[in-house]
Homo-oligomer: A and B are copies of this chain.
Amino acid sequence: MTTAVAWMAPICALVGILVAVNLGRSVLKADPGSEKMNSISIKIQQGAQAFLMSEYKLLIIFMAVVAIIMAIVPVLGPLMALAFVTGGVLSAAAGYVGMYVATRANTRTAHAAEESVAKALNISFKSGLTMGLCVASFALMGLSLWLLLLVFGIDLSLPELIHERIDIVEGFATGASAVALFARVGGGIYTKAADVGADLVGKVEAGIPEDDPRNPATIADNVGDNVGDVAGMGADLFESYTGSILAPTILAATFGALGYFNGQIDFVWALVTPVIIAACGIITSIIGLFAVRTKEGGELHKALNRGTYLAAGIEIVIIFVIFYIWNTQTFDCQPLFLFGSVICGLVAGLAIGKITEYFCSDAYKPVHKIAESAETGAATVIIEGIGTGMLSTIAPIILVSLAIIGAFTFGNMAFPNANVEFGGIAAGLFGVGLAATGMLSNTAITIGVDAYGPVADNAGGIAEMAGLPEEVRDRTDALDAVGNTTAAIAKGFAISSAGLAAISLFVSFQATMHAQIPGFELTLTDPLIVAGIFIGAMMPFMFAALTMGAVSRAAHAMVEEVRRQFREIPGIMEYENEPEYDKCVAISTNSALREMMLPGILAVVVPIIIGCLNPAMLGGFLAGAVATGMLMAIFMSNAGGAWDNAKKYIEKGAHGGKGSDAHKAAVVGDTVGDPFKDTSGPSMNILINLMTIISLTFSPLFIMIQTML
């Protein structure tokens, strides 16, 4: 095989984009429903558009500053700056398209739900998959083109050159990660400020239902679903996906350049395999689309799972075939064992998904126990929920650890003679990286399954505000509820793949440093490295504190504004006057933009500063950050999910049902859980990846400083 085969990647990406355009068009062609519904949808569109535009303006400034620094520092250079910018721009573009379609699919889904749940599913899922395909295709297009231009074509016997070139491509991933962090944090603050504000005053104080048009924060709340759960989530997966493809590629390049693979054939395959796996994943996701259909009364989650499982099944076969062919081309090694690495990752991801479901679904004991504890008040709900979230970290962490060890072992078996240095970690860790690639290869359809949820949620909001019959709302609620469970599996994959990718990248960082700084070792007895572990482990705590504080401040401002409108604008309650929706939208927008800057900038700046001071300390820092970052991600997401479903479980009638004291206590849990599961928790994966990839990208600078000292 030659590296030219890698042209498959941009071609598949192009196919993905064409299908996405087609899907998006068919969504937009659907009937948007009545004038009233459409006018509500337009308000949401405008709010989301305005927020994204303001966010992107800030991001342009940030990206420009970083890009200029990259361009000026001689060991980084303008090409890296360009890669950085393309990574950021493509991520933003995917988020924008996803948000554009989603904010138009909402009213169309609501209208379709007037007819049947099957039609509503069709539109909302198409909208989700449009973004899914855009995310995967844009990411793969950008990444593979950079690799084809700079890495795949060059003389692979020149280690220095490979190092230099792959480092430039890392800029792409850094750009994507930086945008993702801001988009997740900004979107997360936006949506939770609006949500908490709308709930606390509207639902609790004024006693009006969710999405009631009399609630001034209701438009902001619906905009929030789009900027947080659609655009933010898209950017998030854009960066995980990029990271998971790049992790084994960087490892292959780094170690291949040092002659760690057995021969030229293996080196070329190792370089190209990750993008090919990803390319096939786009095609299988498109195939999966056709399996997602249901009849009225059919089981929705089965339809969605059918699509996911079909795509995953085909993808596994393809991955096997790729390794099988590679295996036939080489003599002294057994790349087919790498299939074992991928399976380790997949099994761990699936199991973690199931565990997530166990801890968060109202069908199991943990959520029942939280609901039960609501009978003794809010305090016991909080204690029980925090305990549940922490307990839920045990199995996933053990599974990720086993997946790492398993993928590593298979990797080593694949290249038995590659064990030259580092105790043979090169081949083993390539296996770990490939496991991450395999897990995220079907990102397009995974996003589809995830991102139709907020569309259905929005459709429900529009149905409520436009006063559609109750059955419409019931249908959109059914859609929304299924989305919550199916998304659990996706979460499992996201968390474990982030762990695997981070470790591969982390080891690449170590290898790069080791190759260029004499005597560079990351041993746990070096006090600088121990101090690095401590400080790194602290970062996720700091990040969680800052983002939760941000939600708290923003929600506070929202509460004050909603209260003010109820007080000062007469006739809101009697539907005589429309509340000033735009003021609430402005509060969410401004709070989110103001508050996202500090945590985002810290995540970028702290690793660079530590790396400039001492690269070994940075190594410890990354190890600590990855460990606690994963823990906090699982803890916060699952505690939040469990609280949410405990509240819903009580609303279904348990422990006194809606309006009971237990329900009030459960609402406190849910409100605390909001920033846990939608702001701080989901940002953790990005934080880990961003800090790791930025360390890799800036490693030439660190090396330069060390050699100057």
Contacts and interface: CB of A to CB of B under 8 A. Distances in A.
A534 B559 CA distance: 40
B200 A400 contact: no
Contacts of A425: 525-527
Given A390-B542, A525-B507, A527-B429, A535 B383 contact: no
A620 B383 CA distance: 30
Tell which of A388, A525, A555 has the most Cβ of chain B within 10 Å. Answer: A525
In this complex, which of A398, A423, A499, A627 has the most chain B Cβ atoms within 10 angstroms of its Cβ? Answer: A627
Nearest to A519: B423
A376 B559 contact: yes
Interface in A513-552: 521-535, 537-538, 541-542, 544-546, 548-549, 551-552
A700 to B, nearest CB: 20
A376 B668 CA distance: 11
A379 B668 contact: yes
A239 B506 CA distance: 37
Given A535-B401, A538-B394, A542-B394, A383 B529 contact: no
Interface residues on A, range: 35 or more
A525 B422 contact: yes
Interface stretch (A55-63, A209-217, A229-237, A628-636): A628-636
Contact of A549 (B196, B384, B405, B530): B384
A523 B521 contact: yes
Nearest to A524: B522
B384 A552 contact: yes
Contacts of A386: 545, 548, 672
Contacts of A524: 506, 510, 522-524, 529, 619-620, 623
A601 to B, nearest CB: 15
A78 interface: no
A382 interface: yes
Contacts of A402: 531
Given A387-B545, A538-B394, A527 B376 contact: no
B522 A503 contact: no
A428 interface: yes
A400 B534 CA distance: 9
A380 B554 CA distance: 11
Interface in A418-457: 422-423, 425, 428-429, 432
A202 interface: no
Contacts of A675: 383
Given A425-B527, A507-B525, A623-B524, A373 B631 contact: no
A260 interface: no
Given A404-B527, A408-B527, A200 B376 contact: yes
A393 interface: yes
A397 B535 contact: yes
Nearest to A533: B627
15 contacts: A376-B559, A382-B382, A383-B552, A397-B537, A398-B535, A401-B530, A401-B532, A425-B526, A507-B525, A510-B524, A522-B524, A523-B523, A524-B524, A524-B623, A533-B533
Nearest to A204: B377
Contact of A534 (B196, B530, B551, B627): B627
Nearest to A406: B527
Contacts of A531: 401-402, 404-405
Choose among A398, A521, A522, A541 the residue with the greatest number of B CB atoms under 10 Å from its CB. A541
B527 A405 contact: yes
Which residue, of A522, A534, A546, A552, has the highest number of chain B Cβ atoms within 10 A?
Answer: A534
A158 B404 CA distance: 42
A391 interface: yes
A532 B404 CA distance: 11
A663 to B, nearest CB: 14
A353 interface: no
A607 interface: no
B394 A537 contact: no
Contacts of A384: 549, 552
A378 interface: yes
A142 interface: no
A319 to B, nearest CB: 21
B422 A383 contact: no
Contacts of A559: 376
